[in-house]
């Protein structure tokens, strides 16, 4: 099974909403479904403005939590916009 995430647009305004999404929805379902692959389909950061190291840390923490799963899912990142 694959999990697909697209257009996260991680930025100062979206991080509170994304934190809620990942903690209350994504990770509980991730643990239940145990996908073998997780695909991030671009537009990960809100790059119309500057990116802050905190945005990169937020994303890194998500990646680390995914890759730390006991079933060792593979993570794929499509870099780009649109």
What are the tens digits of pLDDT across the range 35-77? 999 999 988 987 776 778 999 999 999 999 999 999 999 999 9
Residue 15's pLDDT band (boundaries 50, 70, 90)? very high
Average pLDDT of the segment spanning 22-36:
98
Q: Which domain holds residue 74?
A: 2-78
Local structure of residue 61 (DSSP, 8 states): H
Total domain count, the chain: 1
Residues contacting 19, CB < 8 A, separation 6+: 58
Given pLDDT bands bounded at 50, 70 and 90, which one contains residue 82? low
Helix, strand, coil percentages, rounded to 5, for the chain? 40, 20, 40
């Amino acid at each position: 099974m694959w999990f697909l995430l697209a257009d996260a647009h991680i930025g100062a305004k979206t991080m509170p909403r994304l934190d809620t999404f990942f903690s209350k929805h994504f990770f509980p379902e991730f643990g239940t479904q145990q996908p073998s692959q997780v695909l991030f389909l671009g537009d990960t950061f809100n790059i119309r403005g500057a990116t802050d190291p905190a945005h990169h840390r937020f994303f890194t923490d998500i990646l680390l939590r995914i890759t730390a799963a006991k079933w060792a899912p593979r993570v794929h990142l499509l870099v780009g916009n649109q």
